[in-house]
Amino acid sequence: MREIDTQVVVIGGGATGVGILRDLSLRGIPALLLEQGDLAHGTSSRFHGLLHSGGRYVVKDEKAAKECIEENIILKHIAAHCIEDTSGWFVYLKGDDPNYLQLWIKGCALAGILVKEVPLEEAFQIEPLLTRQAKRVFEVPDATVDGFKLLWANLKSAQKYGGTYQTYCKVQSLWLENGHVVGVYAEDLITGEKLQVRSKIVVNAAGPWSSEIAAMSGFEVQMVKNKGSLLVFNQRLFNRVINHLRTPGDGDIFVPHETVTILGTTSHTVELPDDHLVNEQDVTYLLEMGQNLLEEIKQYRVIRAFAGIRPLYESADDADHEGRGVSRNFALLDHEKMDGVRGLVSIVGGKLTTYRLMAEKVTDWVATKLEVHTTCRTAEEPLQHEIATEVWDQARRLLGTAAADKMMERLNEQTGSVVEAIAQQPLLGQFVCECEMVTQAEVLHALQDPSVHSLDDLRRQTRLGMGTCQGTYCTYRATPMLQQAFGGGWERTVIEYHKLLAERWRGITPVLWGEQLRESELARALYLNVLDFKVEESGG
Amino acid sequence: MWDAIVVGGGLAGWIAGIRAAQRGKKVLLITEGVGTLFYFSGIFDYGEVENLRHLPKHPYTLFNSQAVAQGKRFVQEICPEYVVKDTPQSALTVLGTVRRGDLMPRNMVLPDRQEPCKLVLLVPEGLKDFFPEIVMANLAREFPGWQVSEKRMQVAALAEWTRLGKSVSSIDYANIWRSEEGQIALAHEIDEIKRRHQQAGKTQERLVVVLPSLVTEYFDASRTKPYQKEFSLPILEMSSFVPSPHGRYFAEYLKHVFSDLGGELMLGARAVSFNGASTTENQVKSCPELTVHSMGKSLCLKGEKFIIATGGLLGGGIKVGMVRQSIRESVFDLPLFVPKGWSDPRFLAPQPFAQIGVETDEWLRPLDPENGKLVWDNVHVAGRMLAHWDPWTQKCGGGVSITSGYAAAELI
């Protein structure tokens, strides 16, 4: 049993949890974050990657819209390297509700969202695939955000100020004394070691797992687990975010990311916090809905389907909820007020765009309890670092501009050592992942991170396997580095291959047709024939 | 008017075309692309033929063991470096693991395990998708008690390239090995290995040089008879990764063999449809001609018989539309067998979709799987397009393609 003493335990390594860790660390409050899997393995890596302008919410929820636009501006400032400022369009189609259009324009003005109408002819020139059913097109400051990069940037910043974290560490129960929470009991899932962490406050930021955490001690967090399914196309169909200008619904957002485009989403209530299975009906439905904005959608190649669980807050009493001073979209639940238990707070609901604001509210609450009077600095202090000009120049000289820039966005202030390694040994500049332009040197660097325990963890840090080949080539190319980093000989390496291929296959099976089916046959030929992997038993 | 028009330039198509031409037939081979030989490891797998023959409707059920053996011998006849033995042989994968195989070039066959020898892995600098450390570790694991060592080599022509951190594909290296400078450099390295070995006084040990990718000229594809040097030590070639030099040169070689036998070729042409109708309701359709799109033109080509070897899902012979609303044999719209289940949750397990394809009678003529009726009288199907098999989990890709291609040619 390992004993740890700290001020605050944060449960959950998604964007909110890591955002809270950063905020606490910046205010000088010692904190430990515990995550049952790898960072961002839940909702934070399972969304469309849209940095909302708020345009989607202006009609139904003015407050949420205002929060979005404020956070949108802040994040573009503090995390520019994680965001592609694509802008976004709201497209009003033939037959859409004209009343909604009027309400939307008014709502944007009220929320402070800058709207510019794009002449139709110009719109078709800029986005040639846009449906000719479009009647009016409005530009808003939507953008796309790389949830992985953002989360790791927050983590690095938190670490710099003393924040600590442990992944693959599952909270087993809350530690209660005299009816109050004084810490947690947890288990290191890799070593099997038990942990006993004493703290003044426990923050439950476990997203879809929040109700499970609270339930450990018999408390209730009223939450709806809502599954959203998304599709990934193998190319950039659009260069900006495309929204359907109507009451928000299913399959009405296209978000371009690096080399791919994501179409989302659906909305179903589910029971389990990790129900990430996408069925073919969802896929068919998304394609039908997507057709409204992109008529020829069925000609394009879907490389993957995935799903995330939205942890939506459901209050029994709206007035009471408003009384907590947070928006309807996220809620801070003080268990002292609700259940008479000191030392525990839960944060539920919200969206990635407002993760920083949620973290700020939680940290304000914690600071008050701990009587710490430092103010929040997360809105001002940038997450990225100025990279020295020499490093930029050298990286671009060695790798070319496109690959160098992508690498520097991912690595930020740690770029220097990787560039140095490539300069010393130029062949380390070979790409492991050609889709996302990840070099051997970068993979080796990521593998030094003690929290990388598998090829799948490596994927979240480097985007390896997330491009158009879906892991066919890059899994193979990572072989020597994996064996070096993980040890365990060939058997272990083969297990890692299997795990990553299985994870990728799960996302491919719902879209197994067309060119993606062909690509899958190629992958089977490679692994079963060329590399002579053993045939698996049928999984039924 | 041709005796036979072969559609598809993959393994089955070439084998069919060459065999038909060898039998003195007037043959035209049409191919749109390059086929899937470019993913070829260099080894033909036949799988457990006798077991597979008992699976319902497996392509092997269409052939007797004599037909299978004939196909094997034919490969050896046209490409003498391919060794035919009764028992399966073993070779190295690109990872240095040992795999079995039924038909492979002489230089790829592993030495007898009972007679330990010393393996020296010769690693060309910057070879893409090749991992010397892994190969070394796997060789040591696969051959316990054998001595395994590594030697790196640099080719002058690529020195600047690799110095800049650029990798070199195995196809590029194969080109280098086919040049005079390449052969000399390689021979020099091998001599050096031998010399050091002798200096160390270990003359009685058997020494084998292991080389990634294709280094020997096991068929003279270019017809130029490049400079060829005898190496001072025996060579063991590893099988190819993709893009495969073995596949590339093998395809090129088959093309030459076919042309030499008088076969006619139409490259970059897309077969579009059969033009034929049954004369009466109940009569089986016989196809007189084929429409082909080539270089912006549409042509009608007449043939006695047609051999369809356009491949399966990977080769592009079978196309599956979005949400599987359409599943079509992409050229002639032949009726397909489509399995009820579609995929298995385990990626490397037998996949139902792999079974998709055309069912045939014993003369390889397409049948309608609905009613078992013959669709075309003078059309034969060969290779991956056949239904009810999975080349990757049954390890019989080469076997079915060679056997069916050869058998189709015998029917012309």
- How high does pLDDT run on average in chain B? 90
Grade residue A304 by pLDDT with cuts at 50, 70 and 90.
very high
User: Per residue in B219-246, pLDDT tens?
Assistant: 554 555 555 667 899 999 999 898 888 8
Query: What are the start-end ranges of the E strands in A94-168?
Result: 116-118, 134-140, 143-145, 164-166
Q: Is the per-residue pLDDT at B361 higher than 70?
A: yes
- Its ipTM equals 0.95
Give the one of B41, B93, B165 whose C-beta lies nearest to A427's C-beta. B165
pLDDT of A409 reads 85
Task: Indicate yes or no: CB of A427 within 8 angstroms of CB of B167.
Answer: yes
- Region B383-397: mean pLDDT is 97
Contacts of A498 in chain B (CB under 8 A): 348
User: Per residue in B287-334, pLDDT tens?
Assistant: 888 999 988 899 999 999 999 999 999 999 999 998 888 999 988 899
Q: Tell me which of A306 and A484 has the higher pLDDT.
A: A306
3-class DSSP assignment, residue A14? coil
- Region A218-227: mean pLDDT is 89
Mutate to test the interface with A, among B37, B347, B392, B395 (most CBs of A within 10 A): B347
Q: Quick one: three-class SS letters along A59-97?
A: CCCHHHHHHHHHHHHHHHHHCHHHEECCCEEEEEECCCC
- How high does pLDDT run on average in chain A? 92
- Region B210-224: mean pLDDT is 68
Q: Which residues pair with B198 in a beta bridge?
A: none
Task: Indicate yes or no: CB of B126 within 8 angstroms of CB of A427.
Answer: yes
pLDDT of B325 reads 87
| Same-domain pairing of B335 and B215 | no
- Region B354-362: mean pLDDT is 97
- How close A130 gets to chain B, by Cα (Å)? 20
| Same-domain pairing of B122 and B218 | yes
Number of helical H runs and strand E runs in chain B: 9, 15
| Same-domain pairing of B233 and B338 | no
- Region A284-298: mean pLDDT is 95
Q: Is the per-residue pLDDT at A371 higher than 50?
A: yes
- Region B81-94: mean pLDDT is 88
Cis amide linkage into residue A6, ω under 30° from 0: no
Give the one of B45, B313, B349 whose C-beta lies nearest to A517's C-beta. B313
Would the CA dihedral through A142, A437, A305, A210 be positive or negative?
negative
- Region B121-145: mean pLDDT is 94
Q: What is the CA A393 to chain-centroid distance, rounded?
A: 30
Question: Is B221 part of a structural domain of the chain?
Answer: yes
Q: Are B247 and B38 in contact (CB under 8 A)?
A: yes
From residue A353, how far is each of A83, A144, A381 by CA, in Å? Answer: 11, 10, 17
CA angle A249, A253, A207 (to 5 degrees): 75
Phi then psi for residue A111, to 5 deg, are -80, -10
Task: Indicate yes or no: CB of A536 within 8 angstroms of CB of B167.
Answer: no
pLDDT of B305 reads 95
Q: Which residues pair with A232 in a beta bridge?
A: A262, A304
The residues spanned by each domain of chain A are 2-43+148-222+314-370, 51-144+224-312, 430-530
Percent of chain A with pLDDT over 70: 97
Across the A:B interface, residue pairs with CB atoms under 8 Å apart total 147
From residue B68, how far is each of A31, B90, B309, B407 by CA, in Å? Answer: 70, 20, 18, 9
Task: Indicate yes or no: CB of A527 within 8 angstroms of CB of B321.
Answer: no
- How close A284 gets to chain B, by Cα (Å)? 7
- How close A260 gets to chain B, by Cα (Å)? 18
Cα B168 to Cα B161: distance, rounded to the nearest angstrom: 8
User: Per residue in B56-84, pLDDT tens?
Assistant: 999 999 999 999 999 999 999 998 888 88
3-class DSSP assignment, residue B168? strand
CA angle A251, A257, A262 (to 5 degrees): 20
Contacts of B137 in chain A (CB under 8 A): 483, 489-490
| Same-domain pairing of B227 and B114 | yes
Residue keyed to tokens 């005796």 = B3
pLDDT of A108 reads 97
Mutate to test the interface with A, among B238, B322, B336, B343 (most CBs of A within 10 A): B322
Q: How many domains does chain B have?
A: 2
Boundary of a domain, candidates B248, B274, B304: B248
pLDDT of A481 reads 86
Grade residue A50 by pLDDT with cuts at 50, 70 and 90.
very high
pLDDT of A319 reads 44
Grade residue B200 by pLDDT with cuts at 50, 70 and 90.
confident
CA angle B379, B384, B389 (to 5 degrees): 115
Task: Indicate yes or no: CB of A529 within 8 angstroms of CB of B321.
Answer: no
Grade residue B109 by pLDDT with cuts at 50, 70 and 90.
very high
Grade residue A478 by pLDDT with cuts at 50, 70 and 90.
confident
Task: Indicate yes or no: CB of A427 within 8 angstroms of CB of B162.
Answer: yes
- Region A521-533: mean pLDDT is 95
Question: Is B337 part of a structural domain of the chain?
Answer: yes
- How close A358 gets to chain B, by Cα (Å)? 38
- 3-class SS shares of chain B: helix, strand, coil, % to 5: 30, 25, 45
Of A306, A341, A361, A324, give the one whose Cα is nearest residue A509.
Answer: A306
Grade residue B218 by pLDDT with cuts at 50, 70 and 90.
low
Tokens of residue A521, six digits: 């046959």
- Region A36-60: mean pLDDT is 93
Would the CA dihedral through A351, A354, A355, A358 be positive or negative?
negative
Of B398, B358, B352, B399, give the one whose Cα is nearest residue B375.
Answer: B358
Give the one of A398, A422, A513 whose C-beta lies nearest to B324's C-beta. A513
Cα A104 to Cα A344: distance, rounded to the nearest angstrom: 39
**What is the CATH code of the structural domain delimited by A51-144+224-312?**
3.30.9.10
Amino acid at B345: P
Q: Is the per-residue pLDDT at B192 higher than 90?
A: yes
Q: Which residues contact A371 (CB under 8 A, 6 or more apart)?
A: none
Question: Parallel, antiparallel, or unpaired: how do β-strands B27-31 and B2-7 relate?
Answer: parallel
Q: Are A270 and A108 in contact (CB under 8 A)?
A: no
Domain that holds residue B95: 88-248
Question: Is B282 part of a structural domain of the chain?
Answer: no
Report yes or no: A490 at the B interface, CB cutoff 8 Å. Answer: yes
Grade residue A325 by pLDDT with cuts at 50, 70 and 90.
very low
Boundary of a domain, candidates B217, B248, B279: B248
pLDDT of B229 reads 64
Residue keyed to tokens 């797998």 = B45
CA angle A5, A213, A1 (to 5 degrees): 35
Of B83, B61, B76, give the one whose Cα is nearest residue B407.
Answer: B61
Task: Indicate yes or no: CB of A513 within 8 angstroms of CB of B322.
Answer: yes
Q: Is the per-residue pLDDT at A71 higher than 90?
A: yes
Predicted structure pTM score: 0.88
Cα A417 to Cα A437: distance, rounded to the nearest angstrom: 18
DSSP 8-state secondary structure symbol assigned to residue A125: H
Tokens of residue B340, six digits: 């009820």
From residue B354, how far is each of A72, A150, A302, A431, B101 by CA, in Å? Answer: 48, 41, 20, 32, 21
User: Per residue in A258-272, pLDDT tens?
Assistant: 889 999 999 989 999
**What is the CATH code of the structural domain delimited by A2-43+148-222+314-370?**
3.50.50.60
Give the one of B138, B314, B323 whose C-beta lies nearest to A284's C-beta. B323
Q: Which residues contact A257 (CB under 8 A, 6 or more apart)?
A: A49, A84, A144, A146
Task: Indicate yes or no: CB of B323 within 8 angstroms of CB of A498.
Answer: no
Query: What are the start-end ranges of the E strands in A167-301?
Result: 169-177, 180-188, 194-198, 201-204, 223-233, 241-244, 253-257, 260-264, 268-269
Task: Indicate yes or no: CB of B321 within 8 angstroms of CB of A530.
Answer: no
Question: Is B315 part of a structural domain of the chain?
Answer: no
Task: Indicate yes or no: CB of B349 within 8 angstroms of CB of A514.
Answer: no
Report yes or no: A374 at the B interface, CB cutoff 8 Å. Answer: no
Cα B337 to Cα B358: distance, rounded to the nearest angstrom: 6
pLDDT of A323 reads 32
Q: Are A197 and A172 in contact (CB under 8 A)?
A: no
3-class DSSP assignment, residue B246? helix
Task: Indicate yes or no: CB of B97 within 8 angstroms of CB of A532.
Answer: yes
Nearest chain B Cα to A483, which residue? Answer: B134
Nearest chain A Cα to B351, which residue? Answer: A538
Cα A506 to Cα B105: distance, rounded to the nearest angstrom: 38
Q: Is the per-residue pLDDT at A316 higher than 80?
A: no
pLDDT of B278 reads 56
Percent of chain A with pLDDT over 90: 74
Burial of B41 (0-12, 13-18, 19+ CB in 10 A): buried
Give the one of B39, B345, B347 whose C-beta lies nearest to A525's C-beta. B39
Cα A65 to Cα A56: distance, rounded to the nearest angstrom: 7
Residues 404-443 of A with CB under 8 A from B: 422, 425-430
Task: Indicate yes or no: CB of B240 within 8 angstroms of CB of A298.
Answer: no
- Region A61-84: mean pLDDT is 95
Question: Parallel, antiparallel, or unpaired: how do β-strands B207-211 and B118-124 relate?
Answer: parallel
Task: Indicate yes or no: CB of B322 within 8 angstroms of CB of A535.
Answer: no
Give the one of B126, B134, B320 whose C-beta lies nearest to A483's C-beta. B134
- 3-class SS shares of chain A: helix, strand, coil, % to 5: 45, 20, 35
Task: Point out the least confidently predicted range of A13-17, A128-132, A489-493.
Answer: A489-493
- Region A214-240: mean pLDDT is 92
Q: Which residues contact B52 (CB under 8 A, 6 or more apart)?
A: B58, B60, B389, B394, B396
Report yes or no: A476 at the B interface, CB cutoff 8 Å. Answer: yes
Mutate to test the interface with A, among B324, B392, B396, B400 (most CBs of A within 10 A): B392
- Region B274-283: mean pLDDT is 65
Report yes or no: A285 at the B interface, CB cutoff 8 Å. Answer: no
Cis amide linkage into residue B243, ω under 30° from 0: yes
Of A104, A99, A101, A19, give the one whose Cα is nearest residue A54.
Answer: A104
Report yes or no: A524 at the B interface, CB cutoff 8 Å. Answer: yes
* Host H or E run for residue B98: strand B98-105
Contacts of B342 in chain A (CB under 8 A): 512
- How close B133 gets to chain A, by Cα (Å)? 7
Q: Is the per-residue pLDDT at B409 higher than 90?
A: yes
Grade residue B279 by pLDDT with cuts at 50, 70 and 90.
low
Helices (H), A324-471: 335-339, 355-370, 389-399, 401-411, 415-424, 440-447, 455-462
Q: Is the per-residue pLDDT at B249 higher than 90?
A: no
Nearest chain A Cα to B98, which residue? Answer: A532
Residues 444-463 of A with CB under 8 A from B: none
Grade residue B391 by pLDDT with cuts at 50, 70 and 90.
very high
Question: Is B137 part of a structural domain of the chain?
Answer: yes
Q: Is the per-residue pLDDT at A326 higher than 50?
A: no
Mutate to test the interface with B, among A418, A443, A476, A517 (most CBs of B within 10 A): A517
What A447-452 contacts at long range (C-beta under 8 Å, 24+ apart), as own/partner pairs, is A447/A481, A447/A482, A447/A484, A447/A485, A448/A485, A451/A38, A451/A39, A451/A165, A451/A166, A451/A167, A452/A485
Most confidently modeled range among A394-403, B243-252, B384-393: B384-393
Q: Is the per-residue pLDDT at A95 higher than 70?
A: yes
Contacts of A526 in chain B (CB under 8 A): 39, 242
